[in-house]
């Protein structure tokens, strides 16, 4: 029969393509973190940080323009990440003229002898979104610098969450530090010539009233032997930075004059000019290099410096990590970790073995049962179930979906579904045979009657599987995707492949068949 020939060619093509797609499985089937080992991280970006910076900058600019316009005011201060207040304005008309700038991003309200500015909600949302996107891009660059194969960096549920998956990473602590390091670099003047042993001592130097343009930051004791062993001291430094991480052109590994690890950085052209003027006018004063709110080193400005500098007093690993974070740029906001799942490679390998044994045991049992219970016809079921698994593997490799431990369970359930559809059909054929209408009629009736039942059962299972997809963790997604693909290919194998097998048997018989080995 011609019809059967085309069906066989189609089946052979699908099976062939599937095998070609997933062979060899070691390299074609992607393994999830729970099988390969690695770390799954969810970070929360503190977008408030970015809003606060925006508000602070706006206040700075407002102060500047008010001073330039000669408008008197007593106070202009940041109230919260999205709010600031201006008080004591004498000349209201003059103020409004000079302070037009914040109005684009802030709503101004006249309250209690001054103005309160609140960030417009749409601007805040936009800014938060931008911050997360920037953080995402920065993390991506850092992860790439780490040299991880097939990392995942993506937005996660919730507006401010980022998912990072690093397969095969063993030093999780270091990876986490590199990802999270804000890498805020700044070069700034030191306000008090010598460091203080404690924060309290530093505060006392100002009689506990630190000027608003000065901050106290911890740092390492200079010349205290090897890095890492030196004690912590405190520096009083200017808040306003001469140069920030944004002005960097490049950073690279280097050594200092004593042959110790150091990071050499160079500045962009416009920043170089600015830095040149700054250093020129501050010759003889100490300057601090501050990284993530920690004073890395303090040096006296000897002369005009234009385009490069050095971070010293770090160990080798810190040097490597600092270069990575500086090169990838600063994060726009700080972050913390909401979730970490680490699987060691040994446990992963063991899970693969266990899953493999369980699958084989499940399949073996099903094959024995089907052959025993349905005799020769059971072979059709075995063929369709194996074909289903082959197509499932092929599609998974083709779609690049990830095999996880629950995914292996999904595999075994797919075997179960294959059995279900086949049993449904076979039992129906048996029933139809009992009414003695001939083998061909019984087979046809069996498949036709059961078709809609199979559709209904598969749709209801698909609904449940689709709803599983919304769990962001890769392991559960792996399970859901395996189930979905398995369900779809099962319709093809249990109905189309199995029916073709039946018809092939029937067409081989010259005389009208009266019996079926079922």
- Give the footprint of another protein on residues 338-357 (CB under 8 A): 338-344, 346-347, 350-351, 354-355, 357
If the CB atoms of residues 461 and 500 are measured against another protein, the closer one turns out to be 461
**Is 476 an interacting residue with respect to another protein (CB under 8 A)?**
yes
Candidates 53-61, 283-291, 469-477, 489-497; binding stretch for another protein (CB under 8 A): 469-477
Residues 368-427 interacting with another protein (rule: CB under 8 A) = 369, 372-373, 375, 405-406, 408-409, 412-413, 415-416, 419-420, 423-424, 427
**DSSP 8-state code for residue 292:** T
If the CB atoms of residues 305 and 405 are measured against another protein, the closer one turns out to be 405
If the CB atoms of residues 222 and 339 are measured against another protein, the closer one turns out to be 339
Cβ proximity of 21 and 15 under 8 Å: no
Residues 120-159 interacting with another protein (rule: CB under 8 A) = 157-158
Residues 42-101 interacting with another protein (rule: CB under 8 A) = 42, 44
Long-range (24+ apart) CB contacts under 8 A made by 265-274 are 265/185, 265/308, 265/309, 265/310, 265/311, 265/326, 266/307, 266/308, 267/243, 267/306, 267/307, 267/308, 267/309, 269/307, 271/243, 271/247, 272/306, 272/307, 273/306, 274/242, 274/243, 274/247
Residue carrying the six token digits 């083709």: 398
Please state, in angstroms and as integers, the Cα–Cα distance from residue 466 to each residue in 86, 113, 478, following that order: 54, 58, 12
CA distance 243 to 503: 80
Cβ proximity of 7 and 492 under 8 Å: no
Please state, in angstroms and as integers, the Cα–Cα distance from residue 252 to each residue in 138, 296, 310, 518, following that order: 18, 16, 10, 74
Size of the site for another protein (CB under 8 A): 74
At a CB cut-off of 8 Å and minimum separation 6, what does 285 contact? Answer: 189, 190, 300, 301
Which member of 449, 488, 504, 513 binds another protein (CB under 8 A)? 449
If the CB atoms of residues 199 and 449 are measured against another protein, the closer one turns out to be 449
At a CB cut-off of 8 Å and minimum separation 6, what does 321 contact? Answer: 174, 177, 178, 181
Which member of 32, 479, 494, 501 binds another protein (CB under 8 A)? 479
CA distance 401 to 300: 57
If the CB atoms of residues 102 and 410 are measured against another protein, the closer one turns out to be 410
Candidates 92-100, 141-149, 190-198, 459-467; binding stretch for another protein (CB under 8 A): 459-467
If the CB atoms of residues 220 and 428 are measured against another protein, the closer one turns out to be 428
171-210 footprint of another protein as x/- string (CB under 8 A): -x---x----------------------------------
Residues 317-336 interacting with another protein (rule: CB under 8 A) = 336
Q: What's the closest the beta carbon of residue 39 comes to another protein, in angstroms? A: 8
If the CB atoms of residues 170 and 308 are measured against another protein, the closer one turns out to be 170
If the CB atoms of residues 338 and 506 are measured against another protein, the closer one turns out to be 338
Strands 161-167 and 38-45: antiparallel
Residues 485-504 interacting with another protein (rule: CB under 8 A) = none
């Amino acid at each position: 029969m011609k019809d059967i020939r085309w069906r066989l060619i189609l089946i052979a093509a699908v099976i062939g393509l599937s095998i070609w797609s997933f062979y060899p499985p070691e390299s074609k089937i992607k393994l999830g973190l729970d099988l390969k080992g690695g770390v799954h991280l969810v970070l929360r970006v503190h977008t408030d940080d970015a809003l606060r910076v925006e508000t602070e900058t706006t206040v700075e600019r407002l102060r500047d323009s008010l001073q330039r316009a000669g408008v008197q005011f007593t106070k202009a201060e940041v109230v919260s990440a999205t709010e600031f207040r201006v008080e004591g304005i004498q000349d209201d008309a003059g103020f409004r003229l000079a302070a037009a700038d914040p109005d684009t991003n802030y709503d101004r309200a006249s309250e209690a002898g001054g103005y309160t500015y609140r960030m417009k909600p749409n601007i805040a949302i936009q800014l938060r979104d931008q911050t997360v996107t920037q953080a995402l891009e920065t993390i991506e660059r850092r992860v790439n610098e780490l040299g991880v194969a097939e990392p995942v960096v993506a937005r996660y549920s919730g507006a401010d969450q980022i998912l990072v998956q690093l397969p095969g990473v063993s030093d999780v602590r270091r990876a986490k530090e590199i990802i999270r390091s804000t890498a805020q670099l700044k070069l700034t003047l030191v306000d008090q010539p010598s460091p203080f042993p404690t924060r309290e001592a530093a505060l006392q130097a100002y009689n506990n009233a630190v000027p608003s343009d000065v901050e106290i930051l911890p740092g390492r004791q200079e010349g205290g032997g090897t890095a890492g062993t030196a004690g912590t001291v405190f520096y009083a430094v200017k808040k306003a930075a001469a140069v920030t991480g944004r002005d960097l052109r490049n950073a690279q590994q280097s050594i200092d004059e004593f042959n110790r690890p150091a990071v050499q950085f160079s500045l962009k052209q416009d920043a170089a000019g600015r830095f040149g003027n700054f250093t020129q006018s501050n010759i003889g004063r100490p300057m601090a290099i501050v990284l993530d709110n920690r004073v890395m080193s303090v040096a006296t400005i000897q002369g005009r410096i234009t385009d490069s500098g050095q971070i010293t007093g770090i160990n080798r690993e810190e040097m490597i990590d600092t270069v990575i974070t500086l090169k990838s740029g600063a994060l726009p906001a700080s972050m913390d970790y909401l979730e970490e799942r680490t699987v060691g490679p040994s446990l992963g390998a063991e899970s693969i073995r266990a899953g493999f044994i369980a699958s084989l045991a499940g399949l073996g049992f099903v094959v024995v049962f089907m052959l025993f219970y349905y005799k020769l016809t059971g072979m059709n079921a075995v063929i369709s179930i194996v074909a289903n698994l082959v197509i499932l593997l092929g599609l998974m490799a083709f779609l690049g979906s990830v095999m996880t431990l629950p995914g292996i369970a999904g595999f075994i359930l797919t075997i179960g579904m294959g059995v279900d559809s086949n049993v449904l059909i076979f039992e129906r054929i048996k029933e139809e045979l009992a009414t003695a209408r001939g083998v061909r009629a019984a087979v046809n009736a069996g498949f036709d009657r059961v078709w809609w039942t199979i559709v209904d059962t598969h749709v209801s299972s698909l609904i449940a599987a689709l709803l599983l997809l919304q769990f962001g963790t890769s392991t559960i997604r792996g399970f859901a995707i395996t189930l979905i693909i398995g369900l779809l290919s099962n319709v093809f194998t249990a109905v189309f492949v199995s029916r073709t097998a039946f018809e092939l048997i029937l067409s081989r018989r010259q005389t009208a068949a009266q019996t079926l080995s079922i």
